Chain A
Amino acid sequence: MRRRSTHHDDQAEVNMTPMLDIVFILLIFFIVTATFLSEEGIDMRPPPPSDEPPSEDQNEVILVQIDHENNIFVNQVRTDVDRVLSAVNRFRAEAANSAVLVEVQDEASHGIVVQIWDEMSANGVPVSLQRSDGNES
């Protein structure tokens, strides 16, 4: 049936196979290069400045300082990297809900700051980062 009536059409039909080859190659290229990149990271941005004055019942702040030689001081007491959390927890036992302010000198290493930041936020301690002016200690 088809053969007889559409004989002329058959002759005129475009051969799609080469185009299909190209389209497939393009498809494979885009599939391979599509990096659904989803990297992991932490958000260390400071909170947006608010116009409201700090509330009266604000809790004490635990000061964690990291100096240019990566020495860590929790409320002026020198501590080890691994013991920052326990030191902070000790202060928090006295004044619950107090936040941690990490004050870093510019030369402190990134790894230590991230580690402390991570430890704090993993344990639900509110933490913020501040750069020190570098004139202290």
Chain B
Amino acid sequence: MSRRGSRVSTGDEEIELNMTPMLDVVFILLIFFIVTSVFIKEPGVTINRPDAITEEDRNPSMLIGVSSDNEIWVNRRVYEMVQLRGVIEQLLQENPKGRAMIQGDEGAEIGTILDIQDLLIQMDVEVIISTLQD
């Protein structure tokens, strides 16, 4: 280090790039990505979602999976219907303006999905039903 600075690399020092502007840019990018990153918790179960053509693009922050045997999955764990309110409240604390998406399996019972939807509407959370592009 000290050797480099003093004698040998006098020529190098002249060509050395000024990295400060690049560092500024990199920091701004870094802050942008930190701020915009939302860590979504996947339901953690394979769900065969129904196809649809009228779907809209949304960016949900909360995913609730309903498997074909009517298990409710949030963040890689199975929950009962009665526990779900607490779980959603917890997720809402992390992201108060969060939108929810219900990923229901084609074979799941519509009753379970409507129960979850009713619960989310009750809690004033925007909710949509996930589909696949046809």
Contacts and interface: CB of A to CB of B under 8 A. Distances in A.
Q: Do A and B bind each other?
A: yes
Interface of A: 2-3, 10-11, 15-16, 20, 23-24, 26-27, 30-31, 33-45, 66, 104-111, 113-115, 117-118, 121-122, 129, 131
A15 B22 CA distance: 15
Given A44-B128, A106-B111, A106-B114, 14 more contacts: A11-B2, A16-B23, A30-B37, A34-B37, A39-B130, A40-B133, A41-B101, A42-B52, A42-B55, A42-B56, A108-B111, A110-B66, A111-B106, A115-B51
Contacts of B1: 15
B113 A45 contact: no
Contacts, number: 145
Most-contacted residue by chain B among A15, A27, A117 (CB, 10 A): A27
Interface residues of B, number: 52
18 contacts: A2-B13, A3-B14, A11-B2, A16-B19, A20-B26, A31-B33, A37-B59, A41-B60, A41-B101, A41-B129, A42-B52, A43-B128, A110-B104, A110-B107, A111-B106, A115-B51, A118-B55, A121-B54
Nearest to A66: B110
